[in-house]
């Protein structure tokens, strides 16, 4: 099993550009999450999904969109990149009452 795989690992965007961060898992996780790492703030929840076809907003959803058309994939879309979206993004998967498995992270800079 590859676990939770995120791509790309690094990306530089210009203000106003759009991009999709990919996340895929082969562990049959129902629940999937997108977090961003803000200095001194730990991990902030952007969006989450409890199953295919179901998504919900987290703490900081503005400027992002997600979809969950399959159990395996949970892409995160940035439509109009802004400098405030410069961060490290983590995707994670798991099941109810079980630990999360995290991807290796995507370091995004918006200049």
Partner 1 sequence: ILNVEQSPQSLHVQEGDSTNFTCSFPSSNFYALHWYRWETAKSPEALFVMTLNGDEKKKGQISATLNTKEGYSYLYIKGSQPEDSATYLCAFYNQGGKLIFGQGTELSVKP
Phi-psi region of 37 (alpha: psi -120 to 50; beta: other; left: phi over 0): beta
* Min dist. Cβ of residue 80 to partner 1 (A): 26
Handedness of CA 30, 107, 86, 15 (dihedral sign): negative
By CB under 8 A, residue 26 contacts partner 1: no
Nearer to partner 1 by Cβ, of 50 and 82: the residue is 50
Interaction residues for partner 1, span 48-107 (CB under 8 A):
48, 50, 56, 58-59, 90, 96-105
Site for partner 1 contains 1 (CB under 8 A) = no
Biggest CA pair distance of the chain? 40
Q: Least distance from C-beta 102 to partner 1, angstroms?
A: 4
Q: Does 11 bind partner 1 (CB under 8 A)?
A: no
Tell the smallest beta-carbon distance from residue 79 to partner 1 (Å).
23
Instruction: For the sheet with 64-66, list strands across it.
Output: 4-7, 19-25, 76-78, 64-66
Identify which of residues 71 and 81 has a Cβ nearer to partner 1 in the complex. Answer: 71
Distance CA 3, CA 18 (A): 27
């Amino acid at each position: 099993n590859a676990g939770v795989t995120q791509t790309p690992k690094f990306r530089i965007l210009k203000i106003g550009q759009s991009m999709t961060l990919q996340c895929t898992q082969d562990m049959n996780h129902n629940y999937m999450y997108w977090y961003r790492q803000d200095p001194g703030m730990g991990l902030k929840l952007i969006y989450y999904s409890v199953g295919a076809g179901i998504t919900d907003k987290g703490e900081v959803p503005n400027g992002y969109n997600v979809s969950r058309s399959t159990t395996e994939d949970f892409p995160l879309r940035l439509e109009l990149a802004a400098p405030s979206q410069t961060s490290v993004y983590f995707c994670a998967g798991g099941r109810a009452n079980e630990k999360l498995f995290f991807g290796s992270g995507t370091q995004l800079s918006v200049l």
